[in-house]
Amino acid sequence: MRGQRSFADLWIWKRVGDRLTWYYGVSTNRMPAKFRIAGCVPVDADLAAPEEQLWEAHAAATDAFLTMWAAVRRGEVFLSDLTGASSSLLSLSVALVRRMLRHCNFCRWNCRVDRGTGAKHGACQLESGSRVSSYFHHPGEELVFRGTRGSGTIFFTSCNMRCRFCQNGDISHDKDNGIAVSPQQLAAMAWQLRAEGCHNINWVGGEPTIHLHSIVQAIDCLDRGTPLSEDLGYAEAVKADSPYGTRRENATYEGGFNAPMLWNSNFFMSPEAMRILRPLMDVWLPDFKFGNDRCAIFLSKTPWYLETVTRNYQLVYNWGEDIIIRHLVMPGHVECCTKPVLRWIAEHTPQALVNVMDQYHPDYACDPSSLQFDPRYKPMARRPYVEEILEAYECARDLGLQWEEVTLEKTMMGLRDPPLVTR
């Protein structure tokens, strides 16, 4: 796979490879992506049955998937030993997300609106359609994701949180940004990025959770073959970089499309969304923004924050999945947010990789030069001080977290010093 030999040999794998073994295997096409396995798990259920029965079938099929996945990981079963099922865990997942859309419960808001009719809108203000602002080879993600050819990032519009400092505010707060996409066109974007050499498909936004129905249907399309040229042509209207040239071998395992699915999310998701994603996502990249609900409500207008996201982090960790937890250090929020967040991680998910991020800059309602600036957020209208960043690093180090390799990897490579500011 062109570009993958250097990716496979990056120094970072000697430091964190034991924490991301599945993702590494899929990214280098040495293992099949989970959705490929899910497409081989047969389901004996009428997809027109009541939703409760479909969930029962999904639970049984997920158990079968986990057994099959474990055998694949141990090298006891190969994808070529399995056969695709006409009614599979993957097709059942498609049926379920379509049902969920009729009483939307993708995220913790549990709005229960019928997004198919569009008569009422929930927190995300979306109807049944999905829009993509841009897609491209992202050079700015963690080294394990950007590698040598970039992370295959697809940016959706809208969000289920309202962070006043959002650095993607143009798409998070504008649901009409970008272009409308069908699942087939979304699959074309993912196929192109992987065939151009991207190391993963990075579902992000905005927030991907509120587009769960489109994403699951797109993954199902990827399991069925090469996209149509007209879908690729339409999608390229929002491709933010030049074509790299596609090579089928970049994206193939045992004759079928292969790419690790990366869930890059605020993790404000419902239990049902987590159940859908478990057999489909190969690696998880959640944000852990706030250390208490008071800050979550003030800075993001989001109640039930801590109980929701910690439940979901704990689920993924207990499942034994590959995960990197991100925490953005914010000015004036080291004591109330950063330290409680890092302490929770140390206590509940101690072996997870952690990125203690220093990239905060005032944006949206926290930026005095923005039309959206709100004087209530004036204390957030600065970058963190060097002392705040170093205090966060010291806390992570004292807690014994696995943070330095993914947080300081650019500095460790001698590429740059952290962009810190002094008082």
Spatial neighbors of 307 by CB under 8 A, at least 6 apart, are none
Q: Which fold has domain 4-412?
A: TIM Barrel (3.20.20)
Please tell me the predicted confidence (pLDDT) of residue 420.
Answer: 47
Give residue 260's identity as a one-letter amino acid code.
P
pTM above 0.75?
yes
Contact 280, 39 (CB under 8 A): no
The three-class DSSP label of residue 344 is: helix
- Provide the residue-wise pLDDT of the chain in tens; the chain has 423 residues: 445 569 999 999 999 999 999 999 999 999 999 999 999 999 999 999 999 999 999 999 999 999 999 999 999 999 999 987 789 999 999 999 999 999 999 999 999 999 999 999 999 999 999 999 999 999 999 999 999 999 999 999 999 999 999 999 999 999 999 999 999 999 999 999 999 999 999 999 999 999 999 999 999 999 988 999 999 999 999 999 988 899 999 999 999 999 999 999 999 999 999 999 999 999 999 999 999 999 999 999 999 999 999 999 999 999 999 999 999 999 999 999 999 999 999 999 999 999 999 999 999 999 999 999 999 999 999 999 999 999 999 999 999 999 999 999 987 764 444 444 445
Query: What are the residue boundaries of the structural domains of the chain, listed by start?
Result: 4-412
H helices of 181-292, in order, are 183-195, 212-222, 229-235, 271-277
Please tell me the predicted confidence (pLDDT) of residue 236.
Answer: 95
Please tell me the predicted confidence (pLDDT) of residue 85.
Answer: 77
Separation of alpha carbons 60 and 63, rounded Å:
5
Please tell me the predicted confidence (pLDDT) of residue 417.
Answer: 40
Q: Is 47 left (phi over 0), alpha (psi -120 to 50) or beta?
A: alpha
Contact 214, 106 (CB under 8 A): no
Please tell me the predicted confidence (pLDDT) of residue 365.
Answer: 97
Separation of alpha carbons 60 and 37, rounded Å:
15
H helices of 39-182, in order, are 51-73, 89-102, 143-146, 169-172
The three-class DSSP label of residue 192 is: helix
Contact 345, 325 (CB under 8 A): yes
